[in-house]
Amino acid sequence: MRKEETIKHETILEVASRRFSHFGIDKTTVTEIAEDLGISKQSLFYYYHDKNSLIKAVVEKIINEFEVATTRLFQTAPSLEAALLGMIELKRSFFKQYQLMAVPGNKRDLNNLKPALTGLYNNARKTTCSLISEMIKKGIQTNELECADPEETSELIIEMFTAFEHCNAQQNKVPDEQQFDQLFDKQKQVLKLIVNGLKTKHETTNA
């Protein structure tokens, strides 16, 4: 891909993600995105042949941004607890920024996109599980944490996150800021219980 095309792709995704996050996917048209970019709809279709391919690319962009931020966080965090609490704050920030993208839209479009989006989410989940697992292994090596199965424990932590977010999504409406804060504050409370259960008796006593 030529440098000019790469820049154009990045610009399109930035503009599209901004409009999707402000107005929602279902209420945003390709024509509006093209107008924001100052190009024709036909020119936009040169880069993305339909709205679904653009939605997929935007979701992939957001997931990649979250993965980069999470990886950087885990690389510098002093402990598993600090890394996980930091990740919740990252999730809080991303959810608030892109909350309207989660509003249910055209069911036919969503069904067409489901296989591709499921693959993106599953890959992101694997990456996050791997990061958590590595932090658990480090904690065991430094005697901060009791011996536990790192892979199984990381899966349980991810399941906890998913369960909270799924319950929130079932409300089928856009949560207000207070509801978002309650969601992530509860995740923090449960997370602390899990991490305290993993800590060695020595660490728990000192805490």
User: In this structure, what are the phi and psi dihedrals at residue 105, rounded to the nearest 5 degrees?
Assistant: -120, -145
12 assigned to some structural domain: no
Query: 81: closest CA among 139, 128, 150?
Result: 139
Flag the least confident range among 13-27, 29-43, 157-171, 174-188: 157-171
Q: What is the pLDDT of residues 49-99, one digit of tens each?
A: 999 999 999 999 999 999 999 999 999 999 999 999 999 999 999 988 887
Measured distance CA(148)–CA(137) in Å, rounded: 9
Long-range contacts of 118-121 (CB under 8 A, 24+ apart): 120/56, 120/59, 120/60, 120/63, 121/63
3-state DSSP assignment of residue 39: coil
User: What's the confidence (pLDDT) of residue 76?
Assistant: 94
13 assigned to some structural domain: no
Q: What angle do CA 49, 123, 47 make, to 5 degrees?
A: 15
Query: 54: closest CA among 70, 69, 71, 37?
Result: 37
41 assigned to some structural domain: no
Q: Which tokens is 197 given?
A: 């259960």
87 assigned to some structural domain: yes
Report pTM: 0.82
38 assigned to some structural domain: no
Cross-strand partners of 199: 145
Which positions ≥6 away from 106 have C-beta within 8 Å? Answer: 26
Q: Could you give the number of structural domains in the chain?
A: 1
24 assigned to some structural domain: no
Measured distance CA(48)–CA(197) in Å, rounded: 48
Domain range enclosing 108:
52-206
Alpha helix ranges (H) inside 98-145:
107-141
Query: 33: closest CA among 44, 22, 42?
Result: 44
119 assigned to some structural domain: yes
Please check whether residue 17 is in contact with residue 62, taking contact to mean a CB–CB distance below 8 angstroms.
yes
111 assigned to some structural domain: yes
Flag the least confident range among 9-18, 149-158, 169-178: 169-178
Amino acid letter for position 142: T
CATH (domain of 181): 1.10.357.10
User: What's the confidence (pLDDT) of residue 192?
Assistant: 92
Residue written as token pair 């292994």: 137
Please check whether residue 80 is in contact with residue 140, taking contact to mean a CB–CB distance below 8 angstroms.
no
Cα Rg, the chain, nearest whole Å:
20
